[in-house]
Structure 1
């Protein structure tokens, strides 16, 4: 979506001649895309353009603890011991738990799933949960998308007589849960698994893959799990490189076959053509619906939809998710309006801190992201209640949230996150005031005078005449697009405006046609209606755009989606 704020264009070069000579079969524009992604060998070119399910995955037993984990699960099956899969309340935790639950059921395990409540239990294992699981007769706990930071809780579980297998993908904490029987996490030191960027669902899938092979369930069984892997690989923003690219590409194929009853009902409920599902569908429609359950209600709602074999119950779960997401949108819109108004009052500051009474904690991260994107400033959105002060932060490249929080740990009950996304609980009102003053001063010292314009990374320059169906087909081979493999944006210079009009209920969007040397292409620019005031027929402009296929009433046409316009 185009914004009124100026974007800083960073235009990449064409691939050097040496690279073109090495891969003469590549279209020069595709060669530029591969060159910018650091692809250097023929094997890497083949894996990128034509991923192979068998060739481009790693053996699950390359995880150093995989055999220990599989052996323990086999023992649980033989001895009919109770197994609990402990997931998380976001899409990665839900889908990862669903993958492992499905596999364990298939091999005859006595298995159930436990998903924590975001507000009352928080992220990961907690002591109360551990004791509850023991009291219910649990012998083996398998974590999904959590556990690596739960050393005390794992130690307690083992002390109570349970075994724990940790599957996680988060960064290594200062203290590992060494009491665990096995740890499957590609990011910890000493781990032998070669690919480090799996989502939580990806690690759960590798365990499922090892189990499927141990029980000779067949490759088809593991492939039918890939729809869930595809969902979380996008929603958790892991890079679409290496093994993730293979899992995503084949996972999208499974999603489009629409075999899972719950997802079939979700598509029907939301008017989605399953054969057209792509990473955008996941990122902007399906993913938010799954996450809405954990944000406002309970993640069990999403889990039940994923694993249900009853069409009636699956339809009910899909409808519940739809209504919960609608409530989430309404609440987050209201919160965003308030937070943006607070941001407007802080435009002179280098950091925005928006505070609301009793705001749903599950939504503060979404609102922080919207405010940070709008003002291109690090943003903290904080919910205060009688007994809790909790918040989330979203940031820009120039301001590291983890370092900022580490500079004043005394104000937090707990905190954690990544350089550009964090969550925290502040001790009390005086600590909140101290936090606000410190963050304002820190942001001033780091960001004052810096160029904070958002960067628009452009692959290379194109001519209008370069944009044909041959190029479209070649660009499709670069999909799926997402984190680590963004959809290519191209600069098109000296294009002449042939016609234009605003569209949408409020005229928010812009439709136009541009030409160069007698070749014309249609364009759409979402959120760019304001540019119509400065356009006229015959005006020469530069645009940054992606190349799309527009399908309408059975017709297919090439269309450019404009990301920015230089008038």
Structure 2
């Protein structure tokens, strides 16, 4: 993404005199120089780590600049949408626009903040929380039509609905065809046009899902050729560039290694790539230390994009492996989330670690609170937890554990009957009163016969609800369940 000379030529022909970027262009030194030659001024708003040589833009609103003051650096956690909103706030207040005009944009800011997976603490938490309140009562025809298509009900929109329902459909436009479709959807005042734009986005999103799965199969196959590499680099001819980042992110989750996915343009002899990693390997630093061989690059510590000559891919692979081996991969961790320690809940009674075995891979699941009382296992308790929302990066949903819950019933559920449903009876340690609650372990049906009726189990879970104020139901999203060993 970012600026390109072809687009600049088109904008010049249209009489454009000023470009304001959002979430890009900090690395577009050559493109902004070309814009200056065309007589177009550029204001950059971005939150990506810029190169040492800054573009000669009219202004660059980016708290990651090397010359950023301590006050400037306070804005580093903001998303790309958050940085653009800061410019809007400054303009609105300079020209004495009413506060309501700022507030009217917060639904869009919330979508951008949550979709960008930035730490949901501090100002990000405030923007997302206020924005979700605005979103749940939005009068924007585009958002209303989009929520209907995603089967979401205004008044009950939560952060996961944005992350998995709204944002993928909006992003599908730029990934698969033309981002202007999403722009027109979010700015139209016509309900009829909104329905038309949503139909286009839905079609593109379905195509995106299908092509992502197809490309995932190719990428997995390529990755198997390098099973012992500590950094995985895969490339293929004419892979869809709009989904490279999605595929790289999915593969990181599967193999727990940094992943670089490139699409080769045979005619231009160039390859465009997306990189994703986890803490411990700084993608942007790895690219910066190979920048002499890159056409362009930009991004964050754990996500970046770049362009390279196809002939240099093997040298780049060797650089990445050496970079990881020498320990440089973990250097200069500029992702703000990496330096943030989770803040414990004030009501935490006990923090434990539960070892869970899944497909012979052991991981440690952190539990925020072991429940000895059942006062949270009702709708009022759920609503109390939601006061901590929105949940996300650096502010995860609380995870609970119950011990010695009795299995009243269990059955398989879901489209392919692959989920495990449990009906549990839980005794309050203080009052002795019994509460009945139902929970679901996704893809857990294989354990159906493990938990007999009447047996005691320990359950790790989150509390869920449809937020129907009439039915006021809650259920458990089970993360792990094992036969109880407490008191046995």
TM-score (norm 2): 0.81
Contact 1:464 1:515 (C-alpha < 8 Å) held by counterparts = no
More displaced stretch, 202-211 vs 131-140:
131-140
- C-alpha separation in 1, matches of 2:169 and 2:206: 9
Gaps of 5+ in 1: 1-122
Take 1:303 and 1:190, find their aligned partners in 2: how far apart are those partners? 31
Describe the SS at the equivalent of 1:265.
helix
Give the aligned CA root-mean-square deviation in angstroms.
Answer: 3.0
Counterpart residue number, 1:238: 118
The reply on whether 1:143 has 2:52 as its aligned counterpart is no
The match for 2:2 among 120, 124, 136 is 124
Does 1:473 pair with 2:377? Answer: no
Return the alpha-carbon distance in structure 2 between the equivalents of residues 202 and 153 of structure 1: 24
Change (3 A) 1:375 1:542: farther
Report which stretch shifted further, 348-357 or 293-302: 348-357
Instruction: After TM superposition, give the deviation of residue 440 of structure 1 in Å.
Output: 5.3
Number of the residue aligned with 1:414: 296
What displacement does 1:285 show? 1.2
Name the SS of the counterpart of 1:512 in structure 2: strand
Matched residue, 1:333: 213
Aligned partner of 1:383 among 256, 259, 263? 263
Counterpart residue number, 1:499: 409
Report the Cα distance in structure 2 between the residues aligned to 1:413 and 1:161, rounded to whole angstroms.
24
- Which of 51, 58, 71 in structure 2 is aligned with 1:173? 51
Report the Cα distance in structure 1 between the residues aligned to 2:252 and 2:412, rounded to whole angstroms: 27
Q: Which residue of structure 1 aligns with residue 153 of structure 2?
A: 273
Counterpart in the other structure of 1:10: none
Give the 3 Å change call, closer, same or farther, for CA 556–310 of structure 1 in structure 2.
same
Mapped partners of 1:349, 1:159: distance in 2:
45
Which is further off, 409-418 or 138-147?
A: 409-418
Please tell me whether the aligned partners of residues 169 and 185 of structure 1 are also in contact (alpha carbons under 8 angstroms). Answer: yes
Displacement of 1:222 in angstroms is 1.5
Indicate conservation of the 8 Å contact 1:201/1:232, yes or no: yes
Whether the 8 Å CA contact 1:512–1:524 is kept in 2: the answer is: yes
Following superposition, the deviation at residue 253 of structure 1 comes to 1.5
- 1:117-266, aligned counterparts within 5 Å? 123-177=1-55, 179-188=56-65, 189-191=67-69, 192-193=71-72, 194-266=74-146
- CA-to-aligned-CA distance 1:386-427 (integer Å, 9 cap, x gap): 233333222233333334445555654333333322323332
1:160 shift after superposition = 4.1
Distance 1:564 1:356 in 2: 38
Q: Give, in whole Å, the separation in 2 of the partners of 1:190 and 1:445.
A: 30
Contact 2:464 2:477 in 1 (8 A): yes
Q: Which one of 462, 465, 468 corresponds to residue 546 of structure 1? A: 462
1:327 Cα offset (Å): 0.6
Equivalent in the alignment of 1:5: none
1:373 to 214, 233, 253: 253
Partner SS, residue 275 of structure 1:
coil
**Which range is displaced more, 407-416 or 148-157?**
407-416
For residues 425 and 457 of structure 1, do their structure 2 counterparts lie closer, same or farther at Cα, with a shift above 3 Å needed?
farther
Q: Write the distance in 2 (CA, Å) between the matches of 1:198 and 1:438.
A: 31
The residue that corresponds to 1:426 in the other structure is 308
Structure 2 match to 1:555: 471
Shift of 1:343: 4.6
- Describe the shift of the 1:132–1:384 C-alpha distance in structure 2 as closer, same or farther (beyond 3 A): closer
Find the aligned partners of 1:502 and 1:200 in 2 and give their Cα distance: 43
Aligned pair in 2 of structure 1 residues 479, 441: CA closer, same or farther (>3 Å)?
same
The answer (yes or no) to whether the contact 2:45–2:84 under 8 Å persists in 1 is: yes
Alignment equivalent of 2:448, drawn from 532, 541, 549: 532
1:349–1:492 Cα change, 3 Å: farther
Structure 2, unmatched stretches of 5+, are 330-360, 428-433, 484-488
Instruction: Tell me the SS of whatever aligns to 1:391.
Output: strand
Q: Distance in 2 between matches of 1:400 and 1:373?
A: 16
Q: Which structure: greater helix fraction?
A: 1
Find the residue that maps to 1:239 and give its secondary structure: coil
Residue 346 (structure 1) shift: 5.3
Q: Kindly report structure 1 stretches of 4+ aligned residues shifted beyond 6 Å.
A: 444-447
Write out aligned runs for 1:37-52 (5 A).
none
Distance 2:303 2:362 in 1: 19
The verdict on how the C-alpha distance between 1:273 and 1:158 changes in structure 2, with shifts beyond 3 A counting, is same
Specify whether residues 473 and 264 from structure 1 end up closer, same or farther in structure 2 by C-alpha distance, changes over 3 A only: closer
Could you tell me how far apart the structure 2 residues matched to 1:363 and 1:460 are?
38
SS at match of 1:557: coil
Q: Evaluate the alpha carbon distance shift between residue 553 and residue 467 of structure 1 in structure 2; reply closer, same or farther with a 3 A threshold.
A: closer
Classify 1:346/1:434 alpha carbon distance in 2 versus 1 (closer, same or farther; 3 Å). Answer: same
- Distance, in Å, in 2 between the alignment partners of 1:331 and 1:291 is 15
3-state DSSP of counterpart to 2:389 = coil
State the alpha-carbon separation in 2 of the partners of residues 507 and 344 from structure 1: 31
After TM superposition, give the deviation of residue 215 of structure 1 in Å. 3.6
C-alpha distance in 1, partners of 2:323/2:453? 48
Shift of 1:527: 2.6
Post-superposition offset of 1:476: 1.1
What CA deviation, in whole Å up to 9, does each residue of 1:277-325 have, x standing for no partner? 1111110011011111111101001001011122222211111001100
Pick the aligned partner of 2:400 from 490, 506, 531.
490
Q: Give the CA deviation at 1:474.
A: 1.9
Deviation at 1:516, TM superposition (A): 3.7
* Structure of higher RCO (CA pairs closer than 8 Å, 6+ residues apart): 1
